[in-house]
Homo-oligomer: A and B are copies of this chain.
Amino acid sequence: MRPSGRQLNEMRPASIEIDVTKHAEGSCMIKMGDTHVLCTASLESRVPPFIKGSGLGWVTAEYGMLPRSTSSRMRREAAAGKQGGRTVEIQRLIGRSLRAGVDRVALGERQITVDCDVIQADGGTRCASITGGWVALRLAVNKLIKAGDIVTDPLISPVAAVSCGIYAGQPVLDLDYPEDSEAGVDGNFIMLGNKQQIEVQMSAEGSTFSRAQMNELLDLAEKGVDELVALQLAATA
């Protein structure tokens, strides 16, 4: 029934390749089916003004799509002169989600910026960005620990994200673009490794939803997060 022939609770084939760029302190290419996102974590010397002198660290994120990551070419945001509303919304979500897994005291007064650049899009880019972004962050933090710059590991738990939705009346896990564009309800679920929730965003797109449906989607999401966390841990082992 799903365009891809997947089971309702079946994720797309997923992979995470680490150390894909030589400059970044941490980097990976995450592939969720045909959605490919390059994630880098950059240790930055400057910290935002509001943490200066606080001893606390900061993790932030930026998100972009290459102009032809999509089916028809999108206008380049740098040429348009500003980041669109969707971009801003997504990068705020990525940063907020990753911070929920960080002990900012243990991180110490430094900033790590996670860049998530979509090389190829096929639905679920924000979730892939969070999942891959955590891997890049993990690798960058590992370097700080190895160098003795950080003593206590500031990463409390993996952070992973998956989308679920109601497609053709059925709850399905990990929507691809053909499903996403037709789904009546669309949700993004971001969790820690222990399935404590960081952020839940559910949106009616065409049909509203009941609490029962919400709980079905959460069940699917927990299954997806389990698989993603296993993948993250394998990639950074």
Task: Give A66 to B67 CA distance when docked, in angstroms.
Answer: 12
Question: Would you list 5 pairs from A and B whose C-beta atoms are within 8 A, ordered by A residue?
Answer: A67-B113, A67-B115, A89-B92, A197-B214, A200-B200
Of chain B, the residue at the smallest CB distance from A202 is B200
Cβ of A40 under 8 Å from chain B: yes
- One of A48-56, A78-86, A146-154, A225-233 at the interface: A78-86
- CB-CB under 8 A from A64, the residues of chain B are 66, 76, 78
- CB-CB under 8 A from A203, the residues of chain B are 96, 198-199
Task: Give A204 to B196 CA distance when docked, in angstroms.
Answer: 10
Which of B44, B192, B202 contacts A73, CB < 8 Å? Answer: B44
| Tally of this chain's copies | 6
Residues of A within 8 A of B (CB): 21-24, 27, 34, 38, 40, 42, 44, 62, 64, 66-73, 76-83, 85, 87-89, 92, 96, 100, 113, 115, 117, 119-121, 191-192, 196-204, 208-211, 214-215, 218
Instruction: Given contacts A78-B83, A88-B88, A199-B204, list 18 more A-B pairs with CB under 8 A.
Output: A23-B120, A40-B67, A42-B72, A66-B117, A68-B115, A78-B78, A85-B92, A88-B89, A89-B89, A96-B203, A191-B208, A196-B204, A196-B210, A197-B202, A197-B208, A199-B202, A201-B201, A211-B215
Which of B81, B121, B191, B196 contacts A81, CB < 8 Å? Answer: B81
Task: Give A80 to B81 CA distance when docked, in angstroms.
Answer: 8
Task: Give A27 to B120 CA distance when docked, in angstroms.
Answer: 12
CB distance from A197 to the nearest CB of B (A): 5
- CB-CB under 8 A from A21, the residues of chain B are 68-69, 119-120
CB distance from A132 to the nearest CB of B (A): 14
CB distance from A47 to the nearest CB of B (A): 14
Would A68 and B119 count as touching, CB distance under 8 A? no
Task: Give A67 to B78 CA distance when docked, in angstroms.
Answer: 12
- What are the 9 tightest A-B residue pairs by CB atom distance, in nearest-first order? A77-B78, A196-B208, A85-B88, A42-B73, A40-B68, A200-B202, A78-B78, A24-B68, A198-B204
